[in-house]
Amino acid sequence: MAKRPVTIFTGQWADLTFETVCRKMSAFGYDGLEIATWGDHFDVGKAASDPSYAAGRKELLKKYNLGCWSIGSHLIGQCVASLYDPRYDGFLPPHMKGKGDEMRQWAAGEMKQVARGARNMGVKVVTGFTGSPIWNYWYSFPQTSQKQIDDAFKEVVDRWTPILDVFDECGVKFALEVHPTEIAFDFHSTEKLLKAFDYRETFGLNFDPSHLYWQGVNPALFIREFGCRIYHVHVKDAVVTLDGKAGILGGHIEFGDTRRGWNFVSPGHGGVNFDAIVRELNAVKYDGPMSVEWEDSGMDREFGAREACDFVKKFDYPPSDVAFDDALAQ
């Protein structure tokens, strides 16, 4: 199996120009970028309709000896199946702010453009979110009926099926990041969603252990169960610090505050067992990128990005092609 490229998601660096990010990440030692569809990093409309735009992005990557194996569409995808929330105005384009559920039709059209833009970039995987019409039902009070849950999963499938049809036309796969606020946020909801899509090949997973770990889900077992559906991997860590005061739900305390019951931290600084993850990824023959999604409110991000790149290169090892005791065979 070829060496897996080490990339970084540009979503947390969208305050910088695309070229600045290319220059920095190349200097930090990364092999490529998972390009976010916000900031100036990837204009969805231009990428889909203007061949020169995609060519220009590829030229910048080449200039800094970087590749691109995935496009990140999290903010757009979140709007496809979610109910309008005023907080979405923080990232919606000006013409969609305050428009309520019109955002869902807009987002569906944009996701189709993302698929076309990815095709023009020669990229085969788009990572992102689906959104959820029932995330606020995660705790069943007032009482939630099974029919309400089943209807919501069907709604997500109905809203995403025309989008995935375009992904099929473009030869691109969609990889959902299993994550709170999505219709699939843990093991069992992921299983239910894949079944709802009738295991459609176009629809797979972006594996991110950090979101599973703090919920108490074993990331390695998640790979073992869903390995054939994992089309992309995020390298991200979390620390759980339940001290008798802090709860797992966060207590309405901002990320980074050490009073929280858990926080995202730079890879290697939390509790995620990356060795177990590598062994399971090797077992399912995953050969895509290992993409750092760097989120740590308590660490300088440039220090963290450099350290994370080195960390991934140290822990990500190829599988053995022999049994350790073969030399003993007669």
Mean pLDDT of the 155-176 span? 98
For 89, the domain range is 6-237+272-325
Residue 327: band (very low, low, confident or very high) from pLDDT cuts 50, 70, 90 = low
* 328 pLDDT more than 80: no
In a domain, 262, yes or no: no
In a domain, 193, yes or no: yes
CATH at residue 284: 3.20.20.150
In a domain, 66, yes or no: yes
What total number of domains does the chain contain?
A: 1
Residue 324 is predicted with a pLDDT of 64
In a domain, 60, yes or no: yes
Count of beta carbons in the 10 Å neighbourhood of residue 206? 28
Q: Which of 177, 228, 163 is nearest to 207 (CA)?
A: 177
Q: Which of 43, 208, 210 is nearest to 114 (CA)?
A: 43
Which pLDDT tens digit goes with each residue over 38-74?
A: 999 999 999 999 999 999 999 999 999 999 999 999 9
Contact 127, 34 (CB under 8 A): yes
Whole-structure pTM value: 0.97
Residue 37 is predicted with a pLDDT of 98
Which pLDDT tens digit goes with each residue over 12-21?
A: 999 999 999 9
- Distances, alpha carbon 11 to alpha carbons 18, 40, 186, in Å: 11, 11, 23
Which pLDDT tens digit goes with each residue over 108-126?
A: 999 999 999 999 999 999 9
In a domain, 61, yes or no: yes
In a domain, 171, yes or no: yes
* 149 pLDDT more than 90: yes
Which pLDDT tens digit goes with each residue over 266-294?
A: 999 999 999 999 999 999 999 999 999 99
In a domain, 251, yes or no: no
Residue 330: band (very low, low, confident or very high) from pLDDT cuts 50, 70, 90 = low
In a domain, 254, yes or no: no
3-state secondary structure string across 10-56: HHHHCCCCHHHHHHHHHHHCCCEEEEECCCCCCCHHHHHHCHHHHHH
